[in-house]
Structure 1
Amino acid sequence: MREARETAGLQDFAPVYHPAGFDQDLRAVLADVQLGRWLAARDLLARTGGDWALRTSRTQVLAAAAARTDAVEAWLSEEPGSADAVVMRARVAVERALQAHREGKPSLVVLEREAQQACLIAARRVPADPVPWVGLLALAQVDVGLQCPEHWREPWEKMLPAGPWGLLARVGERDPAGNREAFHRMMQFFYACPHTSVADAINFAQWAVSWAPVGSPLRMLPLYAYMESYWRHRQDGSLDPLQHRQWSREPVVHYVRRAFHGWKDRPAPCTSVVDLNYLAHALWAGHQYADAAKVFHVLDRYATRLPWAYVCDDPASAESAVREFVRVRAQCLTTTRSRGAAAPKHRLRFA
């Protein structure tokens, strides 16, 4: 009876969806940006300084909100000499171009050109900052016709596909730790380019894992690539009914374990909530319920639409994705508690 009540309570769990994730300072600032205010964003980026991982994640989230307002334009008008404002203008321009690309808007050509120029201006203004180069790398996925030679360079390793390797190198020169967003932008290029494929993205992700240090967010890359492969097969009707078992088979198991080994069980502000959702799903799908439960504990109430929308009954329904997250979380936590309760209790013996 008690176990049934606990399971029901877990099923009633209400997840939280917020772009700021674990970054509590960003959460407060984001509300201001959404209202068209910029002072708090200026102060936050000034405090962020040269923490490139945190700066990259914060500018990305801020740009997604600011792209729907004139906050950055107002900031530049008031402080035209602000380097952070110039970088944020580039970020917002890239976000608007990507949005136009997703929606198939005719304004894409103009917005893409404006975004490229804004990124180049920011790169000259702040030469040590990787963010403008991350922006240029993000725009590569828009160039499906490969009009820009920079988007089709020879890879660093012979077995890897051609792509915007020069732009990735520019990011790496400034952020040698391995910029999470930059590597995800490379994978998005491989998904979008007519001359590459998801298989190329998988090879790229596996290559990154081969040298990424323990605890690096780059170790999560294969989880995204394998999930994208699953999703595309599901979309085009070629999904093998047993393909979901890939998560409990090699080589996928190997990469899931590599991702889990050294993961941060005390998340930093720049820790990606999406990464942990993908990791929790991969562990659960591979029947590693105890480890998945550990990730769910760290996530607390934070959820993301993906990967759950890719595996739920109705991918187009936000409610269906929520139910899948809640169901999987409940299963992992309940299974772990049940096993703990069933473990034999040993009495202490004194000599």
Structure 2
Amino acid sequence: MAFLSSRRKRARLAPELDDQELGKLLKSLVATTRTGTFGTTELCLAQMSRLLEQDPGDWDRRTHRIDVLAGYLSGSHLPRSWVTREPNSVNALVLHAWTQVAQGRAQGHLEDPADTIEACLRAAELAPDDPTPWVALLAVARLERREQSQVFGVWNEVLARDRWNREAYLSMLAYLSPQEAGSRIQVLEFVDSLGARMPANAPCAATELTAQVLQYHSILDRGGFEALVARNHWSQAMAAQALDRVAHTWSQPGFLRHAKALADLNLLAYALMAADRRAEARSVFEATGGVVTTWPWQTAGDPVTEFDQTRQRSGAGS
């Protein structure tokens, strides 16, 4: 019936976002874990290999799939089993390294940095055009708190292979923040350097808005009076302009085409509501189709609950 098409879609976490093939693989892995194991290792490895062999040269999609798989498999035996069985498989090497990085982020340190670095370099040697070993190595450099000259060296290797790699830009943004190895000034300079060159719908288009949301969160974290008036952040020129540049384009059908477009729409919806721009947020919430990303919603509680309550306040789908 016609009225059903306008009903609000149920909010749900979906790490695969709109990648149906990746979603099928994750469901298959979930099904095999219900008995307490991943079932036959060979079957799981074959499924992962098949997925990662798809779309050769689509580095954006490949980065997304490896990132999601690594997060899902963090703590699993599968990545190490794969690289043990196939030590010359680029997919196995990259997924192993990326999974080690995911674990390292959770623990605050890498268990075996030398092993992770070796996997990255071996994969880079076997597949010179592939940016994903270098993206993983960039994350290693951050966790290891390497000097900026070393980090920028790895960063340049990524850009030489994938000019607008989303994961790499966000990784550098975090590295240059005061919380890691940089300063607020370095963050601003990094974001400013993108403006003139980056296509409006590039995979890394959310870098500027991410920087503004992170700054907003840092104000909230201070507590007290500053946290009470944190919304004022969005009325300042840089934050308001960052929103203005994307508020009316990102939610247009087909404008954002990269693998993590739905994650960027989640970020935009969050920022628009933080800025009390509810009318603009409605179309963005509609464009997400109810797919929820953990960040930035989890900063205020359960991400699905926060997304749904905020969406209701915007009036989307009502």
- Structure 1: which 5+ runs fail to align? 1-8, 102-107, 154-162, 338-351
Alignment of 1:193-208 (within 5 A): 195-208=181-194
Structure 2 equivalent of residue 254 of structure 1:
241
Selected match of 2:284 from 261, 275, 295 = 295
Alignment of 1:166-177 (within 5 A): 166-176=153-163
Q: What is the Cα deviation at residue 172 of structure 1?
A: 0.7
For the aligned residue pairs, the C-alpha RMSD in angstroms reads 2.6
Alignment of 1:215-226 (within 5 A): 215-226=201-212
* 1:271 counterpart = 2:243: no
Q: What is the Cα deviation at residue 195 of structure 1?
A: 4.5
Instruction: Tell me if structure 2 keeps the 8 A contact 1:93–1:114.
Output: no
Structure 2 equivalent of residue 48 of structure 1:
55
Deviations 1:200-233 (A, max 9, x none): 3243223223321121233311222122122222
Structure 2 equivalent of residue 120 of structure 1:
121
Structure 1 equivalent of residue 273 of structure 2:
284
Selected match of 1:30 from 23, 26, 32 = 26
Runs of 4+ in 1 over 4 A off after TM superposition: 192-195
Instruction: Tell me if structure 2 keeps the 8 A contact 1:180–1:218.
Output: yes
Instruction: Tell me if structure 2 keeps the 8 A contact 1:23–1:269.
Output: no
TM-score (norm 2): 0.83
Aligned residue pairs: how many?
A: 298
Structure 2 equivalent of residue 88 of structure 1:
95
Paired letter, 1:73: R
CA gap 1:140/1:289 in 2 versus in 1, 3 angstroms: same
Q: What is the Cα deviation at residue 52 of structure 1?
A: 0.4
Q: Secondary structure at the match of 2:53?
A: helix
Paired letter, 1:54: R
Q: What is the Cα deviation at residue 43 of structure 1?
A: 0.6
Q: What is the Cα deviation at residue 23 of structure 1?
A: 0.8
Instruction: Tell me if structure 2 keeps the 8 A contact 1:280–1:292.
Output: yes
Ranked by relative contact order (alpha carbons within 8 Å, sequence separation 6 or more), the top structure is 2
Q: What is the Cα deviation at residue 109 of structure 1?
A: 5.4
Paired letter, 2:222: D
* 1:214 counterpart = 2:214: no
CA gap 1:207/1:22 in 2 versus in 1, 3 angstroms: same
Instruction: Tell me if structure 2 keeps the 8 A contact 1:26–1:58.
Output: yes
TM-score (norm 1): 0.76
Structure 1 equivalent of residue 3 of structure 2:
none
* 1:244 counterpart = 2:226: no
Instruction: Tell me if structure 1 keeps the 8 A contact 2:97–2:136.
Output: yes
